[in-house]
């Protein structure tokens, strides 16, 4: 899904008939969604980096400070069973680096996390979670619209005030429902989903 397609899907859900929302607010909704989803389901990257008699290397170029973390560091690569070494982030005045508890003399295979991205060149959100992320971004905008109409309830016209109160509750309810759908699709463990389902077994056919 491209960013323009994502924005269209959000717009169709939010139905901002009064054109309250702006492009800046849509971008803020996307940014909030990417931050939330990256925390709930960070993108994992695997790369091989080399080190020659060193305990410390630079972080990868796509490393996100204050977000990325190392999941595993396989060294030496290819052993059976797999061999792993401890790797930690070491903060320096010039930025973070990766420090190992053993000297590197060859390639080390790093698995680490980065934030998801969404732009006109592509999207790193899995297809199975695209709808959930659309829901979360829409919920963000519904929250904004709920606050907007709540502030407009002090209108001098009674009819307008009633209409704005109705829209306030409408968007508040939409935001709550959409956010719950996101949580169900993304953060609810599979075993919990299975526990909430009731299986129906076909009746046995009588043999006589």
pLDDT level of residue 89 (50, 70, 90 thresholds)? very high
Q: Distance from CA of residue 198 to its chain's centroid?
A: 30
Residue 193 scores a pLDDT above 60: no
Q: Distance from CA of residue 79 to its chain's centroid?
A: 34
Inter-CA distances, 11 with 4, 8, 90, 120, 141, Å? 10, 5, 43, 17, 9
Q: Which residue has the higher pLDDT, 193 or 163?
A: 163
Where does 93-160 show beta strands of DSSP type E?
Answer: 95-114, 118-119, 122-123
User: Looking at residues 65-93, what average pLDDT do you find?
Assistant: 95
Please give the helix or strand (H or E) that residue 80 lies within, else none: none
Residue 104 scores a pLDDT above 50: yes
Residue 195 scores a pLDDT above 70: no
Angle, CA 27 vertex, CA 25 and CA 30 arms, to 5°: 115
6-33: per-residue pLDDT in tens?
999 999 999 888 889 988 999 999 999 9
Inter-CA distances, 147 with 11, 88, 122, 159, Å? 18, 43, 32, 19
Helices 130-151 and 23-40, axial angle in degrees (round to 10): 130
> What is the reported pLDDT for 152?
75
- What pTM, to 2 d.p., does this model score? 0.82
């Amino acid at each position: 899904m491209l960013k323009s397609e994502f924005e269209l899907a959000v717009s169709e859900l939010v139905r901002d008939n009064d054109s309250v929302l702006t492009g800046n607010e849509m971008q803020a909704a996307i940014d909030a969604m990417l931050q939330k989803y990256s925390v709930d389901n960070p993108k994992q990257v695997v790369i091989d980096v080399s080190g020659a008699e060193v305990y410390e290397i630079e972080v990868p170029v796509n490393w996100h400070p204050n977000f990325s973390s190392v999941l595993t560091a396989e060294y030496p690569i290819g052993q059976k069973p797999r061999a792993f070494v401890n790797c930690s982030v070491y903060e320096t005045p010039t930025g973070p680096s990766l420090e190992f508890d053993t000297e590197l003399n060859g390639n080390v295979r790093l698995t680490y996390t980065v934030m998801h991205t969404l732009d006109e060149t592509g999207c790193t959100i899995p297809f199975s979670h695209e709808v959930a992320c659309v829901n979360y971004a829409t919920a963000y905008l519904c929250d904004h619209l709920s606050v907007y109409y709540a502030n407009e309830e002090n209108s001098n016209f009674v009819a307008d005030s009633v209409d704005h109160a109705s829209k306030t509750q409408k968007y508040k309810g939409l935001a709550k429902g959409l956010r719950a759908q996101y949580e169900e699709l993304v953060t609810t463990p599979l075993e919990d989903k299975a526990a909430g389902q009731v299986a129906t077994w076909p009746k046995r056919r009588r043999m006589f």
